[in-house]
Amino acid sequence: MKENVLDILIYLFEHYMLENPDQEPDEESIMIELIQAGFNHMTIDHAFDWLENLAIMCDEHDAGQGELIGEHAMRHYHPDETDKLNIEARGLLLSLEQCGVLSPGSREMVIDRLMALEVDDIDIHHVKWVILMVLTNCTDSHPAMADWTEALILDDVQTRAH
Q: What is the pLDDT of residues 51-98, one digit of tens each?
A: 999 999 988 877 665 555 566 667 899 999 999 999 999 999 999 888
Three-class SS state of 39: strand
Could you give the number of structural domains in the chain?
1
Three-class SS state of 121: coil
CA neighbor of 81 nearest in space, from 150, 135, 45, 127: 127
User: Residue 139: what pLDDT?
Assistant: 62
Tell me the residue range of the domain where 23 lies.
Answer: 5-161
Distance between CA atoms of residues 112 and 151, nearest Å? 23
Please report which residue ranges of the chain form alpha helices under DSSP H. Answer: 5-12, 27-36, 41-60, 79-84, 87-98, 104-115, 124-137, 143-161
User: Residue 65: what pLDDT?
Assistant: 54
Specify whether the CB–CB gap between 83 and 89 falls below 8 A: no
Give the pTM. 0.81
Specify whether the CB–CB gap between 94 and 107 falls below 8 A: no
Three-class SS state of 8: helix
Distance between CA atoms of residues 96 and 102, nearest Å? 6
User: Residue 34: what pLDDT?
Assistant: 93
